[in-house]
Amino acid sequence: MLLLVGLLSLTTAKAQNHNLEVGKNLEIFNTLYSQLDLFYVDSLDPGQTMTAGIKGMLRSLDPYTEYFPEEKKNELEMMLTGKYAGIGALVKYHTRLKRVVIDEPYEGMPAAEVGLKKGDIILTIDDSVMTDKSVSYVSSHLRGDAGTTFVLKVKRPSTGKEMKFRITRRNIKMPELPYYGMRPDSIGYINLNQFTEDCSKEVRRAFVELKHQGAKAMVFDLRSNGGGSEMEAVNTVNIWVPQEQMVVENRGKVEQASRAYKTRLEPVDTVMPLVVLVNGETASASEITSGALQDLDRAVVMGTRTYGKGLVQVPLDLPYNANVKITTSKYYIPSGRCIQAINYNRETGAAYTEHIADSLTHVFHTRNGREVRDGGGIKPDIEIKTDTMSNISYYLATSGLDSTEVMFDYIVDYIARHEQIAQPKEFHLTEEDWQEFRQRVIDSGFTYDNLSRKQFDELVKAAKFEGYYDELQDTFDALKDKLHHDVATELDRHRKDVQQMLELDIISAYYYQRGYLEAGLNYDKQLMEAERLLNNPEEYQRILSPNK
């Protein structure tokens, strides 16, 4: 009894000391700002200065705890719901033109409906000139309250004509399921790109539809899905898992941050073979989904290790319509593991992070007794790495790296010359098309950093520093000649990759994201392996039940 009383007294003393420290430091903070505001040589902007102080404080915690002043409340709402009000189009900065242009209108959205095209140069929004503005500035003016109307003036590069469009903004929600459909051998495919409000209903609907079309097995694609709603993850797992099954448990410092989530609904199918595809950008709610299905031995997880975000955030209201998104707990999936990959060290008072080494992780077990580990994300049951992109492909495709914009401009010109193209699965550039593109790249003066040449230059520096360059100069000169940067040769060497990338971007201009994804599946190494596995039931069962 004396020991219990002593422990309670110690706990109470610690709490009182903590509260005292909080009160003391709040008083210091308030007094400091008052003195700055009174004595600092220049006038302070209260909102700007305090926001900087708040952000500095939050930077010492983790990157997911964020402050949203009133003017950025829409960013939080979009993050939580996937919705915003605008025209529904990606814009980009065209390096050669030094202008912001339309990159990709979204299917069924105002930009596409009024006839905006990829490459249209944004000139004005109502009376505001946009020709010397940044992407963020233009984007902020394209967005606004749903139902408001504005006039957008653009220049279409294929004709040189200036065009005006009257556009009414409306609530834009990116499609959770950009594509789903049937694959060969009665295999269904569903791609989910975010866990926003009601996305689980869309996945359930798509799954039921594919079952009616004859699907006997399913691939659920969560690659590059950054997550979202935890409850939507639970409801998605519920499609393939019975009622009253524990999916995830949150454990926080305070009672209201700790909660266990179980499946609530009747499942659609608990026996159909299922493969979940993941990669390094599969995070948060996507990891809850893939990890729970792995822990429950309901699916084979395939791809590469996931991001490793095992933290849960909750939005809280602040005075004057401000908000804060706070990390309140860690989550634990059915085996009992937390897959958080990074420790955020708060003792230093700075943003110091530490990756958890594999040697420090712990073993847990799935329902069938398979070993799984915490920390470091979800490790796939079958690891399948993607093909790496060639250096020349990367530079041609990445905005800002190619100052000629030759690939983007070729696509814009191609669209202008072709009113329509074949269906996504059937479209391919002709030999004449490829040769035209190849010549345009060569004529444009396109250059890129040759990785092998960069490493060669570093080797030369090291040789000179260590004093053996002179005696090997002939060897270095011969190697330098071999590494000569020739764009035509590189295009021919990597034609398959470059042409595939070019075709997919052209397809997306006609068939939007669903077309891009549908066509891309033809080249998808990880999907092909998933389909191979699903066509081998014995191997599939052996992975999930190795001891049977």
**Which H/E stretch holds residue 472?**
none
Q: Of 516, 512, 520, 514, give the one whose Cα is nearest residue 89.
A: 512
* Strand bridging mode 217-221 / 187-191: parallel
CA distances from 206 to 179, 192, 201 (A): 10, 11, 9
Residue 284 among the catalytic residues? yes
Nearest-angstrom CA–CA distance, 31 and 537:
69
CA distances from 297 to 240, 294, 340, 507, 538 (A): 11, 5, 21, 37, 15
Nearest-angstrom CA–CA distance, 419 and 115:
13
486: which DSSP letter? -
**Coil, strand or helix at 189:** strand
Nearest-angstrom CA–CA distance, 312 and 306:
16
Written as six digits, the tokens of 98 are 């030094």
| Per-residue burial over 457-480, b = 16 or more CB atoms within 10 Å of its CB, e = otherwise | eeebeebeeeeebeeeeeebeeee
Written as six digits, the tokens of 313 are 């955030």
Residue position matching structure tokens 């903590």: 18
Q: What is the CA radius of gyration of the chain?
A: 28
**Which H/E stretch holds residue 179?**
strand 179-183
Residues in the chain: 548
Residue 145 among the catalytic residues? no
Residue position matching structure tokens 């499942």: 267
Residue 525 among the catalytic residues? no
Nearest-angstrom CA–CA distance, 524 and 528:
6
261: which DSSP letter? E
Q: What angle do CA 145, 151, 155 make, to 5 degrees?
A: 130
Catalytic site residue from 62, 103, 295, 374: 295
Please, are residues 299 and 543 in contact by the beta-carbon 8 Å criterion?
A: no
Catalytic site residue from 200, 284, 290, 335: 284
Residue position matching structure tokens 């080797």: 459
Catalytic site residue from 309, 335, 390, 409: 309
Nearest-angstrom CA–CA distance, 275 and 530:
6
Written as six digits, the tokens of 502 are 């070019």
DSSP labels, 414-425: HHHH-S----TT
The burial of 377, by beta-carbon neighbours within 10 Å (0-12 exposed, 13-18 middle, 19 or more buried), is given as: buried
Q: How many CB atoms lie within 10 A of CB 322?
A: 18
Quick one: CA torsion of 57, 62, 64, 66, rounded to 10 degrees? 0
Quick one: CA torsion of 100, 105, 109, 110, rounded to 10 degrees? 40
What is the set of active-site residues? 284, 295, 309
